[in-house]
Every structure is written in structure tokens, then in C-alpha cells.
Amino acid sequence: MAAYKGHRMNPDKFEKSQIKLYLFVVPLVLITGLPIVFIFFHAFKPMEELFAFPPKFITTNPTLDNFRKLFKASRSAGIPLSKYVFNSLLITVSVVFSSLAMSTAAAYALSKLKFKGRDAMFMINQLALMFVAVAVMIPRYLIVEKLGLIDTYWAMILPLIPLPVALFLLKQFVDQVPDSLIEAAYMDGASDFHVYIKIILPLIKPAIATAAILVFQQVWTNLEASNYYINDDSLKSLAFYMNTLTSTTTTNTVAGQGISAAASLIMFVPNLVLFCILQKHVMNTMAHSGIK
């Protein structure tokens, strides 16, 4: 019998030995995916199918009725849907870009530069990772208020920029960039800033992509800012508006279920699309990048 040769992760082609992996994974994938598929079907169900008994999983006559009702509801509320969309886009883009710039810079410093208090900073960030957000809502509000940010876009942007998870993740990845690369750059006369831009950033692309997804999800679905920091309805986010649709009496009626499902879908799809784009990038860079 041939000796065991060791196998490779990420195989190039399908082999029989992978069948048992599929037997384990596929059922779990189906169970996980069905509820998501259900939301898609439900959002496109016409009234009579929402009321159908016994309830049907699959939509036979898809319709945009639920989405139409959703848009109508926003028109009757006084503030056009486009305003909420604009607010959410502005906030999301600002937060994602500032957050990535600041966290990658901090991750680089915490991992590769020596200075007093570095380890303390990282420890504190790590502790914050474990704090459950519900508990800090009130103190957070007090601070936002003291800074005079209430009813400004700043209140929706600044508090969301520091994401301990993102920094933690980025720092873990920067740790794996070999010091020899950086030393070589120093030998060539590169500055710290140069090292950050030319060496660190390209090598941690996978982590940046992952951090981008995390920050995006955090901002896109954030309700805290709209609920607590903003009184002016015209400054609130799309997530807030969608939540008013799903949380009020509508969910209790069968007709409301369709609208809620449509709203859920609108909030979910951008996440899905972004993840599809970046996940490909994550997987590719992960498998072939030089981080060892």
C-alpha cells in the first residue's frame, strides 16, 4: 500500500473521495438556504397566494404588487423613498471608506510598529469586541448628545466608523505579513507610510474585503442611529423606514406579510450582491496570495 502523501486543500478537480463531503454539506446547505429562498418567493406572492390555504412555498403567479404597495406607503408618508435611499447611500459610503482607511492604518501600526501603549490599545479593542451592543446604547446616546451631533449626518456616520471586529481581523492578517518584507523595504529607504501603502495594503486585500463586508452590513442595517440620534425624519435611513414597515401592525396581517417580505428583500439583496462580488475576491486572493 502506498504511503499517505498528504493532500492539498482547494483541490483542482472533483474526485470520488469528495462524495462523503457532499453528503455532509449539501443537506445543511439546503436547510440554511430554504428560509432565504422563502423570503424571495414570499415577496413576489400576489394577494390570493398569501391567503392560500394550505400555505404554498412556491409562488406560481409572481407579481410586483408588494413592492408597489411599499412605494405607495412611502409616498403617503410624506418623505419620498428616494430621500431614504440617498441618506443610506451617503452614510454607507462615508462610513465604509473612512472605516477601512482608519482600521487598516491602525492595524498596521498595532501589528508592525513599536510604540508605548500598543499592546494595551489592542487589548482594549479586543475587549470591546466582546461587549454586547444593547448595553451601551444609553451611554452612547449621552455622548452623541453632548457632542452636539443630534440631528446631523455626523451622528449616523462617526459612531459607526470604529468597528472593533474589523480592526481585530485586519490586525490578525497584518501579523502574518513577514517582517522580512518590511525590513527589506526599510533597507531601500521606504518610510512607514510607504510600507503601509505599498506593502501592507496589497498583501491584506482579503482582510480588507472581509472588513468591507462587515462594515457595510453594520451600517446598512443600522437602526440605532436613526432611532435614537435623529428626530428629523428626512435624515433617517432606509433601514429605519423598512423597519417601520415590518414592525408595525403590518406583520400581523397576511397582506402586510407580503410587504414586509418585500422590504426584507430590499434590505437583504445589497448585502448579497456585495458579498457575491467580494467573496470571489476573498476566495481568489486567499488561495493565491503570498500571505504565508
Partner 1 sequence: MSKRSKVARKSQFNKNGYFFCAPYMILFATFILAPVIIAVILSFTNFNTIQFPSFVGLLNYINLITSDDVFMKYVLPNTVKYALIVGVGGYVLSFLLAWALANMTKVPRTIFALVLYSPSMTTGVAMTVLWKIMFTGDQTGYINSWLMDIGVINEPIIWLVNANYLLPIVILIGLWSSMGVGFLSILAGLLNVDESLYEAAAIDGVKNRFQEMIYITIPSMKPQMLFAAVMTIVGAFQNGTISSLLAGNPTPGYAAQLIVNHIEDYGFIRYEMGYAAAVSVVLLLIVQVFSTISKKLFGDD
- Find the binding residues for partner 1 in span 147-166 (CB under 8 A): 147, 158-159, 161-162, 164-165
Which one of residues 186, 198, 202, 234 is an interface residue with partner 1 (CB under 8 A)? 186
CB within 8 A of 50, min separation 6: which ones?
42, 254, 255, 257, 258
Which one of residues 4, 82, 232, 249 is an interface residue with partner 1 (CB under 8 A)? 4
CA proximity to 160, closest of 85, 80, 90, 234 = 90
- Distance separating alpha carbons of residues 154 and 131, to the nearest angstrom: 23
How near is the Cβ of 46 to partner 1 at its closest, in Å?
Answer: 16
| 130 contributes a contact to partner 1 by CB under 8 A | yes
How near is the Cβ of 225 to partner 1 at its closest, in Å?
Answer: 11
| 97 contributes a contact to partner 1 by CB under 8 A | no
Q: Which three cell numbers stand for residue 285?
A: 486572493
Half-sphere exposure of 241 toward its Cβ, with a 13 Å CA cutoff? Answer: 30
User: Which residues within the stretch 238-267 sit at the binding site for partner 1 (CB under 8 A)?
Assistant: 239, 242-243, 246-247, 251, 254, 257, 260-261, 264, 267
Which one of residues 114, 188, 231, 249 is an interface residue with partner 1 (CB under 8 A)? 114
Radius of gyration of the chain (CA): 24
| 2 contributes a contact to partner 1 by CB under 8 A | no
Instruction: Considering the complex, state which of residue 78 and residue 189 has its C-beta at the smaller distance from partner 1.
Output: 189
Q: Which three cell numbers stand for residue 68?
A: 408597489
User: Which residues within the stretch 31-50 sit at the binding site for partner 1 (CB under 8 A)?
Assistant: 31-33, 35-36, 38-39, 42
- Distance separating alpha carbons of residues 225 and 102, to the nearest angstrom: 21
CB within 8 A of 231, min separation 6: which ones?
150, 151
| 84 contributes a contact to partner 1 by CB under 8 A | no
- Distance separating alpha carbons of residues 269 and 264, to the nearest angstrom: 9
Q: Which three cell numbers stand for residue 132?
A: 454586547
How near is the Cβ of 47 to partner 1 at its closest, in Å?
Answer: 14
Q: Which stretch binds partner 1 (CB under 8 A): 24-32, 60-68, 83-91, 229-237?
A: 24-32
| 81 contributes a contact to partner 1 by CB under 8 A | no
